[in-house]
A and B are shown apart, each in its own frame.
Chain A
Amino acid sequence: MIRPLTLFLCALLVAALLTVSVLALSIGQIVIPPVEAVAALFGSGDQMTRDIVTELRMPRLLTALLSGAALAVAGVVLQSLFMNPLADSWSMGLLAGGQLGAAVVIVAGSVVGSEFLSGLTVLANLGSLVGAAAGMAAVATFMLAVSRRVGTVTLLVTGLMLGFLAQGLVSVLLHFTNRTQGRIFASWNDADFAGVAPADLPELTIPVLAGFFMVLLLAKSLSTLQLGETYAVSLGVDLARLRRGVLAAILLLAAPVVAFCGPVMFIGLIAPHIARQIVGSARLSAVIPVVVLVGALLAVLGDFVVHLPWEQHWLHLNAILALVGAPVVIGILLRGGDSGSALR
């Protein structure tokens, strides 16, 4: 059933992912030879090398891998649910909604008491996670209601505008917050995988893995939506339950990413299209494993480019992702309805 070409491309994907991952551990402001960088993971090498690799680069790499994969899977799921090839947690405004939710929680926390933030990081992290999830849920509910009445492109524009609105509100919040709080948001407009400390990793990892698992369970029902909602119902799918399940999965996948890394653009939108081209099909059971690899690779690659030993630091993750993502989206828009991953 699997094409030889697909197997070859997947092998290439895995090889690329491993290579870039090792390079990401090795190259930065301080260059560590790849072999030493990998060895440092297992406790060899001097203290400084070990610290750089295990305390800085490895958490960043893991964050990029997980976030990229999470956003990509969320993208596939949203594209299926909305029956819209341009849906994604960023383009539908969910990430910005999540950002706003997290910002509200953090600001409220700072008003209530500063120990909420400085004293208990775990609680603060959980708070912003819950805030992000609430913001995303609100936007997702709105977008689902809107999606029944508008076309593909209108929905996309609505989602993007909603995103701008939420980001504007975040800026307003920022304006009325003290300087220290402001610094938390400052990096948010440009997403970054570097903000996750090793201690925070479980709070990112556990929800994302739970989200992956939920998507595996939902994939069967989701695939019926490829024929439209009525056919899905006639095939025994409880639509309301499916929507609730998908919403929960999306929150588990994307809320931690937005809370820890900010609004990472384009990965969730383009990874599903790349994965479908690699698989040569839109069958969800085949696309989902591949999209995990594609999303992880895009994120790690973007992060790698950002953290190369540049003289100046003007390159941001979202800028790099836009350079790759925007042309792909324009291509999808212009190509219209003539291929498997195109518009309907």
Chain B
Amino acid sequence: MTLSIGSLSIGYPGRSLYAQLDLTADSGSFSCVLGRNGAGKTTLLRTIAGLLNPLSGSVRVNGADVHGLTAAERARQIAVVLTERPSAPGLTTYDVVALGRQPYTGWFGQLSPDDRSVIARCLRETGVEALADRAFMTLSDGERQRVLIARALAQEPSLLILDEVTAFLDLPGRVEVMTLLRSVARQRKITVLLSSHDLDLAIQFADCLWVLETGGSLVSGAPEDVVLQGAINRGFDSALARFSLDQATFEGVEGTEGPVIALTGQNPCRYWMARALRRSGFLVVSSDQSNVAASVQVECDPLRLAVSVRGKEAEVNTVGQVLELLSELTL
């Protein structure tokens, strides 16, 4: 058990955010902290990282109380990648990653051959070897995040904490970072803890979710358990958006009470047709029910869509045409 949190209360003097948290995370596991903006994700992560003192309770990494360690001792156990985006003018990628060796170097900070081989390995693992001599400032957002992850890994931590590192990345970039973090956790047998806004990616990649619910409670567990227990709904749903357990994504609240459409056929075409129908305000069911307003049958390759609406039959070959045919139902 690398990380164990006992009766931890976090927040600021006079303003407690979460009280009596008990959480653990194994080495080799990848956990995601989820919560809405302002829910306290950063406060929780900074407290665990030892950068912020807890109101009460303890955080232990490999049995040692994080807040009882000196900063230097802590730096060998915990590495962080923060929301702050350093520009490090005048430093190369290599220089930035080399700063991760600070907790291990001597008085004047010279790098030993061992340090250099650790740095080389971290550059390789994160796929930024080719950028080693580039100025850090000139890198793209995605490259910078990889370099900062490499820097954190160069600290050889037992616990790696990342705060919103995917926020500035495009979707493929996010998936790449999540894949990287999961494989780093597995291969290095370290505990990785990440806060994120990407609910669907977190559900897909994490071994464990920690969901900060509105109202000061935290639910943790396997992503699927957390979803089925409704924690995501309690943590995230608002008057206008709701997490759909069927679709593993957020949808607008209105539009769920619309006309019922029976949709049959093969995936993936059926899946995409269903999305279009839901967006247009229909309720999609899979079999013929008594109250259906229309039915659509889908065939892939080539795409053929048979529509039956109010006794009329039609066969079309784009999703857009189906929506047009059905538009009279919602008038």
The distance from the CB of B79 to the nearest CB of chain A, in whole angstroms, is: 7
The number of chain A residues touching the other chain, given as a range, is 20 to 34
CB nearest neighbor in B for A85: B89
Q: Which residues of A are found within 8 Å of B82, using beta-carbon distances?
A: 228, 230-231, 234
Q: How far is the CA of A107 from the CA of B108 in the complex (A)?
A: 43
Q: Is A340 part of the binding interface, using a Cβ–Cβ cutoff of 8 Å? A: yes
Q: Is A27 part of the binding interface, using a Cβ–Cβ cutoff of 8 Å? A: no
Say whether, besides A220-B105, A220-B109, A235 and B155 are in contact (CB < 8 Å). Answer: yes
Q: Is B139 part of the binding interface, using a Cβ–Cβ cutoff of 8 Å? A: no
Which of chain B's residues 6-56 have a Cβ closer than 8 Å to chain A? Answer: 49, 51
The distance from the CB of A61 to the nearest CB of chain B, in whole angstroms, is: 30
- On whether the beta carbons of A230 and B51 are closer than 8 Å, the reply is yes
Provide a sorted-by-A list of 22 A–B residue pairs whose CB atoms are within 8 angstroms.
A217-B107, A220-B105, A223-B102, A224-B99, A226-B88, A227-B96, A235-B75, A235-B100, A236-B70, A236-B74, A236-B102, A237-B102, A276-B90, A281-B90, A283-B95, A285-B110, A337-B89, A339-B89, A340-B135, A341-B90, A342-B89, A344-B89
Q: Is A238 part of the binding interface, using a Cβ–Cβ cutoff of 8 Å? A: yes
Interface string of B85-100 (1 = CB under 8 A from A): 0111111100110011
Which single member of B99, B109, B110 contacts A227 (CB below 8 Å)?
B99
- On whether the beta carbons of B87 and A344 are closer than 8 Å, the reply is yes
Which single member of A216, A224, A228 contacts B102 (CB below 8 Å)?
A224
Interface string of A224-258 (1 = CB under 8 A from B): 10111011011111100000000000000000000
Which single member of A216, A235, A282, A340 contacts B108 (CB below 8 Å)?
A216
Q: Is A320 part of the binding interface, using a Cβ–Cβ cutoff of 8 Å? A: no
A residues apposed to B, CB below 8 Å: 85, 216-217, 219-220, 223-224, 226-228, 230-231, 233-238, 276, 281-283, 285, 337, 339-342, 344
B interface residues, tally (CB under 8 Å): 36
CB nearest neighbor in A for B104: A236
Q: Which residues of B are found within 8 Å of A283, using beta-carbon distances?
A: 90-91, 95
Say whether, besides A219-B109, A283-B95, A235 and B103 are in contact (CB < 8 Å). Answer: yes
Q: Is B71 part of the binding interface, using a Cβ–Cβ cutoff of 8 Å? A: yes
Q: How far is the CA of A85 from the CA of B75 in the complex (A)?
A: 28
Q: Which residues of B are found within 8 Å of A340, using beta-carbon distances?
A: 89-91, 135, 137
The distance from the CB of B325 to the nearest CB of chain A, in whole angstroms, is: 55
Q: Is B84 part of the binding interface, using a Cβ–Cβ cutoff of 8 Å? A: yes
- On whether the beta carbons of B89 and A341 are closer than 8 Å, the reply is yes
CB nearest neighbor in B for A285: B109
- On whether the beta carbons of B102 and A233 are closer than 8 Å, the reply is no
Q: Is B78 part of the binding interface, using a Cβ–Cβ cutoff of 8 Å? A: yes
Q: Which residues of A are found within 8 Å of B73, using beta-carbon distances?
A: 236
The distance from the CB of A318 to the nearest CB of chain B, in whole angstroms, is: 28
Q: How far is the CA of A144 from the CA of B301 in the complex (A)?
A: 68
- On whether the beta carbons of B51 and A234 are closer than 8 Å, the reply is yes
CB nearest neighbor in A for B138: A338
- On whether the beta carbons of B96 and A234 are closer than 8 Å, the reply is no
The distance from the CB of B195 to the nearest CB of chain A, in whole angstroms, is: 15
- On whether the beta carbons of B86 and A238 are closer than 8 Å, the reply is no
Question: Which residue among B72, B109, B110 has the maximum number of chain A CB atoms within 10 Å of its CB?
Answer: B109
Q: Which residues of B are found within 8 Å of A231, using beta-carbon distances?
A: 80, 82, 84, 86, 99
The distance from the CB of B58 to the nearest CB of chain A, in whole angstroms, is: 19
The distance from the CB of A76 to the nearest CB of chain B, in whole angstroms, is: 12
Q: Which residues of B are found within 8 Å of A281, using beta-carbon distances?
A: 90-92, 95
CB nearest neighbor in A for B109: A220
